């Protein structure tokens, strides 16, 4: 992204605002990283089995979905192997201030479902993997 080399001239304050809007995605990820606690964090599990089961495609599809719906307060990160090999690709969603919820077999239609209910409204959908384990961070 060599945005600066081909940049148009800004001839007014309005132009500058437009350029700011156009360039927003250049640094958006970093801004989001700084406020990650206040955003919906979608962690896609991307260990070998997850990737084999299509986690990469799931992440791309979920990012597209967020862009399509114009959802701004969301950030996509990845996590390692969760151990739920039976349900890959798995996605853990953390809504700000809430407990993380993990969804299994997230692909295709499930993605729109999760967006419609959990991401937008906080309503649970089928296919949640109950977290029965504790980690040393709990």
**Helix or strand run (H / E) with residue 59:** helix 55-69
Site size for another protein (CB under 8 A): 47
**Interaction of residue 16 with another protein, rule CB under 8 A:** yes
**Interaction of residue 10 with another protein, rule CB under 8 A:** yes
Site string for another protein, 70-109 (x = CB under 8 A): -----xxxxxxx----------------------------
Per CB under 8 A, the segment of 41-49, 90-98, 102-110, 114-122 that binds another protein is 41-49
Distance CA 72, CA 79 (A): 21
Distance CA 80, CA 77 (A): 10
Whether 110 and 103 have beta carbons less than 8 Å apart is answered as yes
Contacts for 120 with CB less than 8 Å, ≥ 6 apart: 71
Interface residues toward another protein, by CB under 8 A: 1-4, 7-13, 15-16, 19-20, 23-34, 36, 43-48, 51, 59-60, 63-64, 67, 75-81
């Amino acid at each position: 992204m060599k945005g600066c080399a081909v940049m148009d001239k800004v001839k007014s304050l309005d132009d500058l605002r437009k350029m700011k809007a156009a360039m927003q995605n250049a640094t958006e990820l970093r801004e989001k990283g700084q406020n990650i606690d206040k955003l919906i964090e979608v962690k896609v599990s991307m260990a070998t089995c997850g990737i084999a089961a299509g986690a990469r495609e799931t992440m791309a599809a979920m990012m597209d979905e967020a862009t399509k719906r114009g959802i701004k307060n969301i950030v996509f990160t990845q996590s390692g192997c969760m151990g739920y090999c039976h349900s890959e690709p798995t996605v853990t969603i953390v809504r700000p201030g809430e407990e993380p919820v993990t969804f299994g077999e997230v692909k295709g239609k499930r993605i729109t479902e999760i967006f419609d209910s959990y991401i937008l409204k906080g309503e649970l959908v089928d296919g949640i993997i109950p977290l029965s384990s504790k980690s040393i961070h709990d």
